[in-house]
Structure 1
């Protein structure tokens, strides 16, 4: 997949493209259904395939106080789109100027001008442009003049069929907030993953007897609800290791911690991870985070958590 980031130097494939547009946060099963339709239609017509997405969620510019947390950062989104097998992904810089662009200008500049669109596939509820003035009807009207067909895709449920309760990024975020990892994974088609850099913690590893990688996840990324989890840790060496994961505010030691901390204990591993990039995948919820009466009681429970995580992950 070729990643394009400058509209002014787009390749404008002479054979034309079949493309889709959207935030594509999470690249979930609904997104993949649209891309599958796109690829089928492109194959029939000998077109290249393209996804038009944005370098940030448009809501972070249009309504920053209520913008959703992200299921994927830009790098992960591009990796997932590449896995879908599209030829191009155009990453449009989204800022205040772009947010005020009329929908028809976006179509002329990006779809027809940059990518030479011959087919556009979007969800039937798709909106774009200033004040969400663009929709499927506008695309169809402009497509008749500019030479592209528009396919309005039904919203897809978990069974891959049209559904009144479709898979969506909003539903996935809600499942994660509820600690419903199975529900989130079913809609994503994979375990929810977050990424960050390993930093230094508060130095309690020796006291507790369990070393952890403290992964600094950007504030804009969606985390599951606080709790203890079994999951996978993917480090800079490319290895996937089982982990017992603590996500929370460490109430045994702190009364009023402002933010949740992600700590991953890599099971049966001892090594220096500071400063390295890490990916953490949440597989199964084990228990709520609780305040213990003593450090000894916490350590005993941590031992049980690690054993449970080891057993669960070994069976996968």
Structure 2
């Protein structure tokens, strides 16, 4: 990903390239709903030789306006930009959101951001899109501006999955409350992931015969505590293969050892300390449990590995392509 494709300034001279069709939003998780917006924007842009732009805000506006209600993010901004471009965007505009930005009126947002900065000839949004100070701008406001300034406004309805709209809020809920990584993967068209630095652990896994990589992860959303079938890849090694394994997320109640993210990689025996690894959650195996002794725990881990291997054999390869 080229750094010049991520614009972190509202200065028009940094963002103007050519006419564009813009889809603004947070795009956290880059799910099916976001992809429907991108596809609609791309159809119009390609028909006229314009560029397809996604627009994101950093930090999440709620983190500025109501920090106590700020959501835990599914994807950080660098990864989000990478996935948005992979979904069909020619470019991604990342706007720094602060209290000053939040005070823009809807008219100022359209003039300064959409017209002056992005040279928008089309805007593609969902039905709940609001913009400007206190979310006072809406689809009607946007269409009035479009008629006056000569840009189109396309409304894309939500994408439904099993009777409900796909949304970042829904993804956060099913991941954190249910550990439902399987449905999350369908809604994102890829497995949910975390990335971290491999650090020294307490070696308990090795003592049990199942050495683990202990991940130091950032403040992004993790699935509900439990055991998962995973795929993984080392990020700092060219041509690193896709690895299979089983991961434990949680407090390790048998040992009372505190919260951790541990990954046992099948058939891997190399040195991992100090390396970065991306882990994708393919299937939930079970919740956290406390065992009476080491032998009972060892037997359960053995069963977990068998279940994880079976789940990984049945995985959809398209869902792990981003790991």
**Superposition TM-score, scaled by structure 1 size:** 0.92
| Pair 1:153 & 2:156 matched | yes
Matched, 1:233 2:213: no
1:130 alignment partner in structure 2: 133
Deviation track 1:203-249 (CA, whole Å, cap 9, x = no partner) reads 32332222111112222x11111111111011123321001110111
1:20 alignment partner, one of 20, 23, 26: 23
Any gaps of 5 or more consecutive residues in structure 1?
A: none
Matches within 5 A, 1:180-199: 180-199=180-199
2:193, 2:281 within 8 Å by CA — same for their partners in 1?
A: yes
**What root-mean-square deviation, in Å, do the aligned CA atoms of Structure 1 and Structure 2 show?**
1.8
Superposition pairs of residues 276-295 of structure 1, within 5 angstroms? 276-295=275-294
Counterpart in 2 of 1:10? 14
Q: Deviations over 1:34-57 (max 9, x none)?
A: 110111111222221111112222
1:101 aligns with 2:100: no
Give the Cα–Cα distance (whole angstroms) in 2 for the partners of residues 309 and 155 of structure 1: 33
Q: 1:142 to 1:315 in 2, by over 3 A?
A: closer
Q: Which residue of 2 aligns with 1:272?
A: 271
- Note if contact 2:126-2:156 (Cα within 8 Å) is conserved in structure 1: yes
Aligned with 1:284: secondary structure?
Answer: strand
Residue number in structure 2 paired with 1:206: 206
Counterpart selection for 2:41 from 29, 38, 41: 38
Q: Are the equivalent residues in 2 in contact too, given 1:4–1:90 (CA < 8 A)?
A: yes
Distance 1:83 1:70 in 2: 19
Q: Greater CA deviation, 150-159 or 187-196?
A: 150-159
User: Once the two structures are superposed, what CA deviation does each residue of 1:40-84 show, in whole Å capped at 9, x if it has no partner?
Assistant: 111222221111112222111111111111111112101111101
Give how far 1:181 is off.
1.9
Kindly report which structure 2 residues correspond to 1:64-79, keeping only aligned pairs within 5 A, or say none.
Answer: 64-79=67-82
**Is 1:243 matched with 2:242?**
no
Structure 2: where are the runs of 5+ without partners? 316-323
Deviations 1:135-193 (CA, angstroms, capped at 9, x unpaired): 1111112222332111121112139xxxx721111111121121222221121111111
Question: Cα 1:101–1:200, aligned 2, differ >3 Å: closer, same or farther?
Answer: farther
Contact 1:17-1:116 within 8 A present in 2 as well: yes
Hey, what's the Cα distance between the residues in 2 that align with 1:60 and 1:228? 31
The 2-side partners of 1:106 and 1:286 are apart by: 47
CA distance in 1, matches of 2:250, 2:63: 25
The answer to whether the 8 Å contact 1:4/1:88 transfers is no
1: CA distance, partners of 2:199 / 2:148: 55
Per the alignment, residue 311 of structure 1 pairs with 310
Q: Tell me what 1:262 maps to.
A: 261
What CA deviation, in whole Å up to 9, does each residue of 1:93-145 have, x standing for no partner?
11222222222212211110011111000001101222111211111122223
Q: Secondary structure at the match of 1:271?
A: coil
Structure 2 counterpart of 1:140: 143
Q: What is the CA–CA distance in structure 2 between the aligned matches of 1:312 and 1:149, rounded to whole Å?
A: 46
Q: CA separation in 2, counterparts of 1:171 and 1:278?
A: 27
Q: Does 1:174 align with 2:173?
A: yes
Secondary structure at the aligned position of 1:89 is classed as strand
Matched residue, 2:321: none
How many pairs does the alignment contain? Answer: 307
Deviation at 1:315, TM superposition (A): 4.1
Tell me the distance in 2 between the aligned counterparts of 1:59 and 1:275.
Answer: 34
